[in-house]
Amino acid sequence: MNLISILKINKVNEDYFDYVDTVYDLINHPKVKSMNEYIQHGDITTLNHCLNVSYKSFLISKKLNLDCNSCARAGLLHDFFLYDWHNHEPMDTLHGFAHPLIALRNAEENFQLNELEKDIIIKHMWPLTLKLPRHKESYIVCFVDKYCSLTEIVISNLNRIYHWSLVKKSFVKNLLKFS
């Protein structure tokens, strides 16, 4: 896993090394690695999405003197549901409502979590899931998740449009050649 390129880091610094220290056991765990087998948005895997949410939440909460370690760890596990959500309806309800609880259960089965980390994971879909987050850190991960999701969807759609405009251009070019 090339963490530096996934996180789009130009220059490694102290923050990056602190981050890696904090999530080292998680990123080397086979079940966490298996999130790379599932697509989250566009062509972004669930693992890459979670790494982005985790790292951005870590940096913001560190700047604000909050619990950046819990933000990093719970951010990485917030979508630890381990299935392809595009063709799977868990617990007879919509993925959007069900997956925070599934992610929390999986995380608790595999790792030791503190109360803050549990709140971050279970509340990250707020306001879709009605219960209010109890901590500032939970709001940070919740909003960073929305920001990353939106960015991933927009970028993948732009890439698709760009790709199709290239295909169209070359098609017209070839058509003109043979006309």
Site residues for Fe ion per CB under 5 A: 79, 145
* Residue type at 165 in one-letter notation: S
Strand 44-45 relative to strand 39-41, pairing? antiparallel
* 176 CB neighbour count, 10 Å cutoff: 8
Of the pair 56, 135, the CB lying nearest Fe ion is at 56
41, 49 contact by CB (below 8 A): yes
| Shortest Cβ 75–Fe ion spacing (Å) | 9
Please say which residue, 67 or 145, places its beta carbon nearer to Fe ion.
Answer: 145
What's the closest the beta carbon of residue 46 comes to Fe ion, in angstroms? Answer: 8
Q: Shortest CA distance to 112 belongs to which of 25, 21, 17?
A: 25
Least spacing, CB of residue 51 vs Fe ion, in Å: 11
Min separation Cβ 87 and Fe ion, Å = 17
Give whichever of 53 and 68 is closer to Fe ion, judged by the CB atom: 53
In the complex with Fe ion, the residue whose CB is nearer, 116 or 120, is 120
Tokens 């390129």 -> residue: 5
